[in-house]
Structure 1
Amino acid sequence: MEKIVVVGLGLIGGSLALDLKKRGDFKVYGIDQNPTHVKKAIELGVIDAEISFSELSEADIVIIAVPVNIIPKLTQKVLDVVSNETLVFDVGSVKNEICKAVENHSKRKNFVAAHPLAGTEFSGPEAAILNLFDDKVNIICEADKTDWRILDKAISIFKKLNMRIKMMNPIEHDRHIAYVSHLSHVSSFMLGKTVLEIEKNEEAIFDMASTGFASTVRLAKSSANTWTPIFLENKDNIINSLNEYIKNLKEFKDLIENNNEEGLKESMNNTNYIKSILNGLK
């Protein structure tokens, strides 16, 4: 039985723990700076037991699932104490700073920079669910810097989770993810903020809310403690994506102000092309 240690018992770390316990011969231990999270994770059966950082040398696999601004230094500390055969991987949604932080570490070969594209708007160990990763994409960055035996072990773990693997350069990853994920969260937060500021009557909002509104602002329920570090760690790419987004919003506003019916139709019809792209991903 292999020993897995999950550092960070939130949605992603907890869901990985649940799924791996179900799908393999693993005993799963947890570490979290919040004692309440550890207690809750044990009560819910997310992990089998707590473990101390000093015991990481006995782990076969260490999963780092903490906020992205903490991952670089924590990964260095984990690599300092694990064995030469231990697989260490993170699940952060910003990769370049993490990869740079460990590039010269003597155990760089033990590390896999991963980003499973899965999640919900909920947080904490209570949010952990089974089957979260099925049929989702998992991006691996700088796979060539990992020992092939360690990488093979990581890929076997991801296959147990029914994930599809994609290799990517960390700089490209951070640029692309700013548009397809981080911008979506900014938009959702700001749409929710705008509606709350304009419409003070909350009951009216809920009475009038369509399924479209609910799905669009769903991400606004996400944890600020999770997303603030992400926005700041990927700051340059997010600012670039926001500049493009703001430009398009202004152009759309101008079309409405000028009663430009044909321009509105053209803008929306051109954007309808995204349907064919998203359909192709299914």
Structure 2
Amino acid sequence: MNIFIIGLGLIGGSLALDIQQEFKNATIYGIDSNEEHGDLALEKRIIHQKATSSELKNADIVIIAIPVDVSQEVILKTLDNISDTCLVFDVGSTKEAICNAIKNHPKRRNFLATHPIAGTEFSGPNAALTNLFRNKTNIICEVEKTAFKLQEKALDIFSKLGMRIRYMDPKSHDKHIAYVSHLSHISSFMLGKTVIEKEKNERDIFDMAGSGFASTVRLAKSSPAMWTPIFEQNKENVIESLNEYIHNLQQFKTLLENNDFPEIYTEMENTNHIKQILNGILEVVPQ
């Protein structure tokens, strides 16, 4: 089985490692616009061979794991070059724009739109991890537009890698992910910005930073090259989530200004319900 992975960063590299582990007959070919990434992936045995797009005609599966601003064009070109039996799937964080871009392609049935909800704040081949996707949710959009035999091929991979599957339309996916992922990254980036600006005048501030700050600002270490296109493609949903978030922040500030600490207590107590929601999610994850 010839598997080509376009983009050898955290997600692409981690998929390569896990697929090698679960599919011993798979040969992993790597394509990356950064030559150093390709060389490093080969050196670390994330891939078996480096390749070029001209070789995609030999692929049984193509995985596209690159920033969403360039993935649309790459997906279209990939579909132009593959065989009729090849499966192509992407792993991008936005789905509506990509699904719209390829909807009229003659080989639309060869494509599956997916989004594994997994990752870290690190990037590049050095960030690749084994078992990154185990017990993680994988969102699949417009599954009905993919040929059934290719659906089966994809689901076999996702199952062996330990993913849980959730089906969703692209519009709903982008709206929901704006709240649970994209807003979290913006919050982290802006918290980091606020503290960095304050630190210019108060040099001791980072000496006082504990684990709470570290965990909250962790996502600010994420790649701007990956996240700026995500915010661009999902702009409307991100703005909607920001408006609601800013409203809640402003409301909290007003309560402080008015010394309304009983209401602040109530607000936090009500929000503690998030523990039950998150515990419920963890309970349904197979061990």
User: Offset at 1:205?
Assistant: 3.2
Indicate how the Cα distance of structure 1 residues 60 and 175 shifts in structure 2: closer, same or farther if over 3 A, else same: same
Give the corresponding residue for 1:99.
Answer: 99
Give the corresponding residue for 1:88.
Answer: 88
Give the corresponding residue for 1:266.
Answer: 266
Give the corresponding residue for 1:206.
Answer: 206
Root mean square deviation, CA, Å:
1.0
Task: Work out the CA distance in 1 between the residues paired with 2:210 and 2:3.
Answer: 43
Letter in 2 for 1:4: I
Moved over 4 A (4+): none
SS at match of 1:83: coil
Give the corresponding residue for 2:145.
Answer: 145
Task: Say whether residues 1:31 and 2:36 are aligned partners.
Answer: no
Give the corresponding residue for 2:241.
Answer: 241
Give the corresponding residue for 1:4.
Answer: 3
Task: Work out the CA distance in 1 between the residues paired with 2:268 and 2:202.
Answer: 30
- Kindly report which structure 2 residues correspond to 1:70-219, keeping only aligned pairs within 5 A, or say none: 70-200=70-200, 204-219=204-219
Per-residue deviation, residues 162-188 of structure 1 (Å, max 9, x unmatched) = 000000000000000000000000000
SS at match of 2:204: helix
SS at match of 1:69: helix
Task: Work out the CA distance in 2 between the residues paired with 1:205 and 1:135.
Answer: 37
Per-residue deviation, residues 213-269 of structure 1 (Å, max 9, x unmatched) = 110000001111111111111101000000000000000000011100111011111
- Quote the sequence identity (%): 59
User: Offset at 1:202?
Assistant: 7.9
Letter in 2 for 1:22: Q
Give the corresponding residue for 2:285.
Answer: none
SS at match of 2:138: strand
Task: Work out the CA distance in 1 between the residues paired with 2:201 and 2:122.
Answer: 25
Q: TM-score, normalised by structure 1?
A: 0.98
User: Offset at 1:206?
Assistant: 3.2
- Kindly report which structure 2 residues correspond to 1:246-257, keeping only aligned pairs within 5 A, or say none: 246-257=246-257
Letter in 2 for 1:272: N
Q: Report how many residues are paired.
A: 281
Per-residue deviation, residues 182-207 of structure 1 (Å, max 9, x unmatched) = 00000000000001111226862332
Q: TM-score, normalised by structure 2?
A: 0.96
Give the corresponding residue for 2:55.
Answer: 55
**Any unmatched runs of 5+ in structure 1?**
none
Deviates more, 1:66-75 or 1:138-147: 66-75
Letter in 2 for 1:43: E
Task: Work out the CA distance in 1 between the residues paired with 2:157 and 2:70.
Answer: 24
